[in-house]
Structure 1
Amino acid sequence: MEKGIDGIPYYQKLKTMFIEEINSGNLKYGDKIPSERELAEKFKISRMTARHALSTLEREGFVERRVGVGTFISNRKIQWNFITVNSFTKGMEDKGLKPSTETIFAKIETADEFLASKLNISTGEEIFSLKRLRIVDNIPVAIELSQIPYKFCSQIEEYISTKVSLYKVLDEFYGLKLTKQKQYMRISLSDPIESKLLKIGNENPCLSIEGTTYDSFERPIEYYQILARGDLVEFYSEPTNPQ
């Protein structure tokens, strides 16, 4: 593998250069970048090294290749803070983005043994299940399922709409102050239904998150599952300094 005098592989340097150009705004969504041959000639590297750099950028979602056309900058990553308990709408608006939501279903169900253990309720108790498609700047980015013990939010279906934050409803109508979350994250492949909703190819790599949201009394209020597009969403945290 070709390396510079500093020992860093040339493909890594090329990849880093493109990422910096994307982050600075010099390269934007839809911009076409040079071909393998053009990159090899410009930077005096082998076509194999150029190909490796482009392949790495593609795997990480920075570029997309179109057969017979070329390689183009992909949609910019949408940052999602997975530590702060916050509504999706407010989080996206704070970043200057335009969020919207489509409700897939909102219904009353009964808790199975698994869900009962997550929410500290009895098997068979009523739960409110809300499944939504999250959209940013008219692009579907995630599928989100929230499940809440109905005893905490009786008649919530009367207040829920695509334009209202679930967390805001829980706060304003039910006095539920959500303060922390425990969650797990992994890579998952989208199934045919998920792929259609997210407008991606079948079995595309996605970020799968599941967790529990607690209120100020340490009660589990919500069990949630999120499937987010791996090519568009990146999760981050902002740890606070210990007091």
Structure 2
Amino acid sequence: MRADDSVLSPANAISRYFFRLGPLGLSKHAQLRESIIQAVNDGQLRYQDKLPPEKALGDLLSISLGTTQKALGTLAAEGYLVRKHGIGTFIGQPRRAIQKSWHYRFTDPATGEHLPVFAHLIGRTVVGDGPWTKTLGPDAQGYIRIDRRISIDERFACVSELYLPKSLFEGMLDIPAARLEDVNLKEILEMEFGYPTVEAKGGARLVRLEPRIATLMDLAPGSWALKINIHGKTRGQQPISYQKMFVPPSDCELDMDFTGAS
């Protein structure tokens, strides 16, 4: 039982916010997603609160099971929810927008302000040679690849693939996954390894998305997106990072001055 009687049950909280958002004309998926986010921000849903089962929640809101699953799956990927197999779905830890973002400075057309950015770790692996080799130079140990899904104010999602020389940054494989969430990785490269990024340059072109990337961006395979390749250097013009950045179409302008924090 909740100690604070002013806080609604999870089912009632979600329902109240969901129907409040109805007049805005959002899709049912976006309406459910936004209702949970607002309930979390207002303290009506708290860390470790258990949500109703998916079917029960869909029936309560008069939406399909597929729509319910899509919305909850998106929130789980973004860290708002935690799904425990056979147990249920729970509210996750509150999120904090990335501070001092370099490459994801999108401007809200309504306010002219940069939108908050959130990053979710997809995975880390060691890979061999590829297009990044020309930028980073040969490395006998290979290269660390860090994949993240970047949510822009929960409006749309980008995908980042960051490649680092393993001989310099092997410790990135041992850093707890939670520390790679909602953080500018360049700060870790500087603070943990002593390699500040002092310069970043990039080129861009339109590409059709492969299924894996499209799924992470909530787009259909083969959709068009902007692919930006970014080369990072440290002191003495030493290359230290190669990044692939995938950006979907949106009405938000991307600040392309990759020289530091906003």
Q: TM-score, normalised by structure 1?
A: 0.55
Task: Describe the SS at the equivalent of 1:206.
Answer: strand
Alpha-carbon spacing, 1:151–1:134, altered in 2? closer, same or farther (3 Å): same
1:202 aligned to 2:213?
A: no
Q: 1:186-238, CA deviations, whole angstroms, 9 ceiling, x for partnerless residues?
A: 01122222222111233222111113110122111001101110235533445
Mark the structure with the bigger radius of gyration.
Answer: 1
Q: In structure 1, how many angstroms separate the alpha carbons of the residues matched to 2:166 and 2:224?
A: 33
User: 1:154: Cα distance to partner?
Assistant: 2.7
Give, as a single letter, the amino acid of the residue that structure 1 aligns with 2:134: S
Q: 1:14-39, CA deviations, whole angstroms, 9 ceiling, x for partnerless residues?
A: xxxxxxxxxxxxxxx969xxxxxxxx
Give, as a single letter, the amino acid of the residue that structure 2 aligns with 1:87: S
Q: In structure 2, how many angstroms separate the alpha carbons of the residues matched to 1:147 and 1:158?
A: 16
Task: Describe the SS at the equivalent of 2:123.
Answer: strand
User: 1:105: Cα distance to partner?
Assistant: 1.0
1:220 aligned to 2:239?
A: yes
- Matched with 2:101 is 87
Q: In structure 2, how many angstroms separate the alpha carbons of the residues matched to 1:171 and 1:211?
A: 17
The structure where strand makes up a greater share of residues is 1
Q: In structure 1, how many angstroms separate the alpha carbons of the residues matched to 2:229 and 2:236?
A: 21
- Matched with 2:95 is none
**Higher deviation after alignment, 187-196 or 146-155:** 187-196
Q: In structure 2, how many angstroms separate the alpha carbons of the residues matched to 1:193 and 1:142?
A: 13
Q: How many residues align?
A: 156
Tell me if structure 2 keeps the 8 A contact 1:129–1:148.
yes
Alignment counterpart, residue 164 of structure 2, candidates 126, 137, 148: 148
Alignment counterpart, residue 170 of structure 1, candidates 189, 196, 206: 189
Q: In structure 1, how many angstroms separate the alpha carbons of the residues matched to 2:235 and 2:106?
A: 24
- Matched with 1:125 is 141
Q: In structure 1, how many angstroms separate the alpha carbons of the residues matched to 2:158 and 2:117?
A: 11
Q: In structure 1, how many angstroms separate the alpha carbons of the residues matched to 2:250 and 2:141?
A: 38
Root-mean-square deviation (CA), in Å? 3.1
Task: Describe the SS at the equivalent of 1:142.
Answer: strand
Q: In structure 2, how many angstroms separate the alpha carbons of the residues matched to 1:114 and 1:220?
A: 14
List alignment gaps of at least 5 residues for structure 2.
Answer: 1-23, 27-99
1:99 aligned to 2:117?
A: yes
Q: In structure 2, how many angstroms separate the alpha carbons of the residues matched to 1:113 and 1:155?
A: 21
- Matched with 2:42 is none
Identity of matched residues, %: 15
List alignment gaps of at least 5 residues for structure 1.
Answer: 1-28, 32-85
Q: In structure 2, how many angstroms separate the alpha carbons of the residues matched to 1:90 and 1:239?
A: 9
User: 1:153: Cα distance to partner?
Assistant: 1.7
Give, as a single letter, the amino acid of the residue that structure 2 aligns with 1:176: Y
- Matched with 2:153 is 137
User: 1:91: Cα distance to partner?
Assistant: 4.5
